[in-house]
Amino acid sequence: MRRLASVLAASVLVLTGCALPRHDPEVTFYANGKTIRLEPTIYCDIDGSNCAEKNAPGTLKVPAGKVVQISVDGQLADGLWEVVCVYENAAKVQEGCSSPLLGKGDNFSYTLAVPNEKDQLLRIEVHEAAGAVLDTGQPLMRGSWVVDITR
């Protein structure tokens, strides 16, 4: 009888498994032979409200001039997302870069490259667009995944 109760309890858990809360989307960063997988530093409801600070930024060692491969999970790839970065050029001046809007089920990855081989990445952020837009027409940010670069 106890065995039957255990089987029934396990069946209920399996059947209700789709009602369990989903985890926050993750982003994978790969450079210099190392991979890190991060959950968001900030994450909001789909409309961009009820935001919560979640996790500290990750760190990744990236030598000057090297690329970073970025992969997002399906939840991000189905929506809109972008990559932004800060880098230091050869003259030691900080500059920024950004990708076009990616996603809509077509883009699961992006290769971030600095313009010149002496440029040093300092920070990378992946932004997920919310289901709302600002007055300017730009999408409101729903989530942010942040990597601070070490040399």
- Residue 38: exposure state from Cβ atoms within 10 A (0-12, 13-18, ≥19): buried
Question: What contacts 24+ positions apart, CB below 8 Å, involve 129-132?
Answer: 129/79, 129/80, 129/81, 129/82, 129/101, 129/103, 130/44, 130/45, 130/46, 130/47, 130/48, 131/46, 131/47, 131/48, 132/47, 132/48
Q: What is the pLDDT of residue 139?
A: 80
User: What are the residue ranges spanned by the domains of the chain?
Assistant: 22-150
Average the pLDDT over 77-94 and give the result: 95
pLDDT band for 94, please (50, 70, 90 cuts).
very high
Task: Give the pLDDT of residue 22.
Answer: 65
Across the chain, mean pLDDT equals: 87
Lowest mean pLDDT across 45-54, 107-116, 126-135: 126-135
DSSP letters spanning 15-65: HTGGGSPPPPP-EEEEETTEEEEE--SEE--TTS-S-EE--PPEEEE--TT
Report the alpha-carbon distance of residue 64 to residue 74 in Å, rounded: 30
With 70 as the cut, is the pLDDT of residue 15 above it?
A: no
